């Protein structure tokens, strides 16, 4: 590329940078003016924004296949080479996704199943919180360890001590990548991928971090190969190795070590920060609303008692707690604009012709904050998921995990973690704020794609 072209690119990117901070503000007005489907130009690329339950359901569910592509993420594509699950599309994505769902399902049954692993982690989490001796602490680190360890347990069969060097290294590298990927610069790179070659630095760090994970997974995979018992798969890697063996004569096979390492890296990327931010926000909301915490604790006392570890079977007898967890996810609106999708072919949608490959943004906020489905949507109130009799009430508007063919692969796992971690914590501790409850700020801070709680401290008082 010549210097002039580059200059033009940089200029358009600078304009973009000015826009990034205000983008969601400016978009919100557009839906009022143009209705539930409209196009915006982000940099030089058109994107279609869908607003409201009807339009989003019609796209992600009724026309699920057409809307199942992944919007472009040049940085991630460069790191992942278009492999894996999170950033891939088409046949590749379909096969790896189907395999991942089936493996999570298989790991969920029998002895040493996923629930056992999450319960074990919940007990370790509580022990770690006990060590804070009821003094004020920022829970970010400990709440980050538990979901990361659950993924470790599923992928590598074993959990780590929260002080283990390898574990801390894995966590740190993922946290660093999440930080880089959520900076406004990355949005610039994503719109002007040409710049990637001109600004070495942070994106090189991403590749280094991804390489570290890949080589760790490769090393673990070799150990697994040596000890594999095909009749007794222990974890995700074992299932993948078995699949690889079955597919080894297929010249177009998707199951290679390369793809295993990237898929594993996607699991960490998608399953760690999301869950730990939700837990951190949940504790803040429980601090802010002691009346909600008290009702949950009353339910735990009644259904589980003080000693036994809570299990998933308890959930059906704990409608208020179930509603609280849903309400946390609805209220915090973790991924307000979902992950970007793309249409896989030319699509006729509500009288618009959307050309193949167009990026589709779904505004999940507009569904989670729908004021007909959830009266007073700005208020944190578990009653949004309860009927008059106090029974749990499902809602099709609960799209915190998105919907349709691309919906979160870890939904079942994440829901299990949220329920078991939160009930185990509230079974063993009362949460105490370090400032007056009315001064507790619960306003979200936008961090790239995700909405995170402001920093806070609390005390875990043993019950
Ligand atoms: C509270 C926790 C979580 C939330 C709110 C969440 C939410 C989401 C959302 C909104 C998407 C994008 C769906 C779309 O493109 O339409 C997604 C994708 C994904 N999530 Fe989660 N997630 C969570 C936890 C997890 C966990 C624990 C895992 C671990 C296995 C996981 C694995 C994935 C994967 C692999 C994808 C990509 C699916 C695809 O592209 O086909 N997530 N998640
Ligand atoms: C964002 O919008 C506000 C008004 O809505 C304006 O005052 C501010 O300068 C804008 N910021 C940027 C970076 O464009
Ligand atoms: C949104 O629209 C309202 C009135 O319809 C206007 O006052 C406000 O400035 C607009 N905000 C932006 C960011 O365009
Ligand atoms: C999404 O919808 C909500 C509620 O209608 C609105 O406040 C927000 O600004 C919208 N965001 C985008 C990115 O369109
Ligand atoms: C798996 O990796 C090979 C190269 O090692 C590639 O050709 C294939 O498309 C990949 N499949 C997926 C699903 O990424």
Give per-residue pLDDT as tens, 430-445: 999 999 999 999 999 8
Question: How many whole angstroms separate alpha carbon 232 and alpha carbon 240?
Answer: 13
Ligand 2 centroid–CA 28 distance in Å is 14
Check whether 408 is labelled as a binding-site residue: yes
Domain of residue 81, residue span = 10-462
159 within 8 A of 153, measured Cβ to Cβ? yes
Amino acid 409: pLDDT: 97
Atom of ligand 2 nearest to the CA of 18: 13
- Domain contains 306: yes
Q: Which helix (H) or strand (E) holds 446?
A: strand 445-447
157 exposure class (CB count in 10 Å sphere: 0-12, 13-18, 19+)? middle
Q: What is the number of the ligand closest to the CA of 26?
A: 3
Range in 29-43, 123-137, 395-409, 416-430 with the lowest mean pLDDT: 29-43
CATH number at residue 244: 1.10.630.10
Q: pLDDT band at 109, cuts 50/70/90? A: confident
164 within 8 A of 152, measured Cβ to Cβ? no
Structure token pair of residue 3: 């210097």
Amino acid 197: pLDDT: 61
Average pLDDT for the chain: 88
- Domain contains 332: yes
Atom of ligand 5 nearest to the CA of 82: 14
pLDDT at 202 over 80: no
Percent helix, strand and coil across the chain, each rounded to 5?
55, 10, 35
Question: How many whole angstroms separate alpha carbon 340 and alpha carbon 357?
Answer: 11
Pairing mode, strands 341-342 and 359-363: antiparallel
pLDDT at 6 over 50: no
Phi first, then psi: give them for residue 293, nearest 5 degrees.
Answer: -55, -40
Atom of ligand 3 nearest to the CA of 29: 1
Question: Mean per-residue pLDDT for 93-116?
Answer: 92
Amino acid 74: pLDDT: 72
Atom of ligand 1 nearest to the CA of 272: 27
- Domain contains 3: no
- Domain contains 4: no
Ligand 2 centroid–CA 22 distance in Å is 6
Coil, helix or strand at residue 441 = coil
- Domain contains 92: yes
- Number of domains observed in the structure of the chain: 1
Atom of ligand 1 nearest to the CA of 154: 30
Amino acid 9: pLDDT: 43
pLDDT at 276 over 80: yes
- Domain contains 61: yes
Ligand 1 centroid–CA 331 distance in Å is 18
Ligand 4 centroid–CA 28 distance in Å is 4
- Domain contains 36: yes
Question: How many whole angstroms separate alpha carbon 268 and alpha carbon 250?
Answer: 28
Q: Is any atom of ligand 1 closer than 6 Å to the C-beta of 260?
A: no
pLDDT at 2 over 50: no
Q: Is any atom of ligand 3 closer than 6 Å to the C-beta of 29?
A: yes
Structure token pair of residue 56: 């989003």
Q: What is the number of the ligand closest to the CA of 150?
A: 1
Q: Among 22, 24, 188, which residue has the most ligand 2 atoms within 8 Å of its CB, making it the best to mutate?
A: 22
- Closest residue by CA, ligand 3 atom 1: 29
Atom of ligand 5 nearest to the CA of 84: 14
Structure token pair of residue 64: 């699920």
Q: Which helix (H) or strand (E) holds 126?
A: helix 114-130
Ligand 4 centroid–CA 27 distance in Å is 7
- Closest residue by CA, ligand 4 atom 7: 28
Question: Mean per-residue pLDDT for 364-370?
Answer: 97
Q: Is any atom of ligand 1 closer than 6 Å to the C-beta of 361?
A: no
Q: Is any atom of ligand 3 closer than 6 Å to the C-beta of 33?
A: no
Q: Is any atom of ligand 3 closer than 6 Å to the C-beta of 26?
A: yes
Q: What is the number of the ligand closest to the CA of 17?
A: 2
Ligand 4 centroid–CA 219 distance in Å is 45
Q: Is any atom of ligand 1 closer than 6 Å to the C-beta of 9?
A: no
pLDDT at 210 over 70: yes
Ligand 1 centroid–CA 410 distance in Å is 6
- Domain contains 1: no
pLDDT at 177 over 60: yes
Ligand 3 centroid–CA 29 distance in Å is 6
Range in 11-20, 165-174, 253-262, 388-397 with the lowest mean pLDDT: 11-20
Q: What percent of the chain has pLDDT over 70?
A: 85
| CA-to-CA separations, 5 to 1, 386, 458, in angstroms, rounded | 6, 58, 53
Pairing mode, strands 429-433 and 445-447: unpaired
pLDDT at 308 over 80: yes
pLDDT at 11 over 50: no
């Amino acid at each position: 590329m010549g210097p002039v072209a580059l200059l033009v690119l940089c200029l358009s990117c600078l304009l973009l940078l000015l826009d990034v901070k205000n983008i969601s503000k400016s978009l919100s007005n557009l839906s009022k003016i143009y209705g539930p489907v409209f196009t915006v130009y982000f940099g030089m690329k058109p994107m279609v924004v869908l607003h409201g339950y009807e339009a989003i359901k019609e796209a992600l569910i009724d026309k699920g296949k057409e809307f199942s592509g992944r919007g472009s993420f040049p940085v991630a594509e460069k790191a992942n080479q278009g492999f894996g699950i999170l950033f891939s599309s088409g046949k590749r994505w379909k096969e790896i996704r189907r395999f991942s769902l089936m493996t999570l399902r298989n790991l969920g049954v029998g002895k040493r199943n996923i629930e056992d692993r999450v319960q074990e982690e919940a007990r370790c989490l509580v022990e770690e919180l006990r060590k804070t001796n009821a003094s004020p602490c920022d829970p970010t680190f400990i709440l980050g360890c538990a979901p990361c360890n659950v993924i470790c347990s599923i992928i590598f069969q074993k959990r780590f001590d929260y002080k283990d060097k390898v574990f801390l290294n894995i966590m740190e590298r993922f946290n660093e990548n999440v930080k880089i990927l959520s900076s406004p610069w990355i949005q610039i790179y994503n719109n002007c991928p040409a710049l990637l070659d001109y600004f070495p630095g942070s994106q090189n760090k991403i590749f280094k971090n991804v390489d570290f994970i890949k080589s760790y997974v490769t090393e673990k995979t070799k150990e697994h190969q040596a000890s594999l018992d095909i009749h007794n798969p222990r974890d995700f890697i074992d299932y993948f190795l078995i699949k690889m063996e079955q597919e080894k004569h297929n010249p177009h096979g998707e199951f290679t070590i390369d793809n295993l390492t990237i898929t594993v890296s996607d699991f960490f990327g998608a399953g760690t920060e999301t869950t730990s931010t939700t837990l951190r926000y949940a504790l803040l909301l429980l601090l802010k609303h002691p009346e909600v915490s008290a009702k949950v604790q009353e339910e735990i006392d009644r259904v589980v008692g003080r000693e036994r570890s809570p299990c998933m079977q308890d959930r059906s007898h704990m409608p208020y707690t179930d509603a609280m967890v849903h309400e946390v996810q609805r209220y915090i609106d973790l991924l307000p604009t979902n992950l970007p999708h793309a249409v896989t072919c030319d699509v006729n949608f509500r009288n618009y012709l959307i050309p193949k490959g167009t990026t589709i943004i779904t505004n999940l906020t507009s569904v989670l904050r729908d004021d007909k489905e959830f009266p007073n949507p700005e208020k944190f109130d578990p009653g949004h998921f309860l009927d008059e009799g106090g029974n749990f009430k499902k809602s099709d508007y609960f799209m915190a995990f998105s919907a349709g063919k691309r919906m979160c692969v870890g939904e079942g796992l994440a829901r299990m973690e949220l329920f078991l971690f939160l009930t185990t914590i509230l079974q063993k501790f009362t949460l105490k704020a370090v400032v007056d409850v009315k001064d507790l700020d619960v306003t979200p801070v936008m961090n790239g794609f995700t909405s995170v709680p402001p920093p806070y401290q609390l005390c875990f008082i043993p019950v």
